[in-house]
A and B are shown apart, each in its own frame.
Chain A
Amino acid sequence: MIVFDSVSKIYPDSSVALEGVSLSIESREFVSIVGPSGAGKTTLLKLFLGEEKPTEGVVYYESTNIHKLKKKEIDAFRRNIGMVFQDFRLLSNKTVYENISFTMEAAGRTDEEIESDVPHVLELVGLSPKVWNFPRELSGGEKQRVAIARALVNEPDVIIADEPTGNLDPANTYDIVQILQKINDLGTTVILATHNKGIIDLLSRRVIVLEQGRVVRDDRASKYSV
């Protein structure tokens, strides 16, 4: 379970990214965080990943205060979270296979596990034929599938997707949302940050609406209309 308890984040230039945000996300839940650009969606995710520290308040994961973790514990914690970004963030000089195996290597998995799991996860996202290609040889949709495969391969408890369809056309957007839904059906918590109204309508799952750093709505099964 993820809990944000009265969390505020004020950056050094005095801009307020989040203000008194309190929310909780149950395990196996599919939550969309929506809001216009600058509403604080990315800051919220960064706080959860330990990339940023809150100015006030506490962020818990399974009763652990994330910002009290030591460097090594943060590494271990992050290995349990899969991440998908709008700009894909693949390692450009590694092949599709290596981009995924790198995450497994970082988690200390054996060569045998890597050899059996990587093809499996690529099959899941429908990218088996591109296994030896470099990211520059892939389309946007394909890159995002690699990113999802990478996020998925260590069987994380939570997957965070920050505007994963921001750079994709409608057909690819639909595919990516389907994959995320499938992942959630298999028992993984999914947190999706987006400002794409179409996706929210498609999902009909819990929606948290952020505006100017505050939670303005939290609906269990909602359509996005601000």
Chain B
Amino acid sequence: MWIKDEIKERLGSKVIDWYQHSARRIYFSIQPRDIKEVADILFNELKLRFAIATGQDTSKGLEIIYHFSFDKSGEIISVRVLLEDKKDPRIDSLATLFPAAEWIEREMWELLGINFIGHPNLKRLLLSDEWPEGKYPLRHEK
């Protein structure tokens, strides 16, 4: 049983551009303000597993792709958000929905400078204490 059709139906107009790369690889975008609601539906209601999130610096802004796995069918559902304001990128934390998001949000916070609102423990995960404030290793700016 594929989960993708159910997701599409359940999320309705929140889905911006749906792209199916192959049978088990689906990508779509949502507005950053919808992330908590969408993640709640995927994780708690439709029982997808949170695999990880990919943060990246693009020319349009900072992008986060939340990868969810539906293990019964092997589908990976990747939910994309774009944070256009690189000076003050912020988005709701998912760590309150599921603790598995705690580490990766800390990582994206320190490596890309994205602020996760409501995160219970937003402190460095990988960088040492000596690393200078406000310098983000995965940002592409010179």
Binding partners A and B:
no
Residues of chain A having any CB pair with chain B under 8 Å: none
Residues of chain B having any CB pair with chain A under 8 Å: none
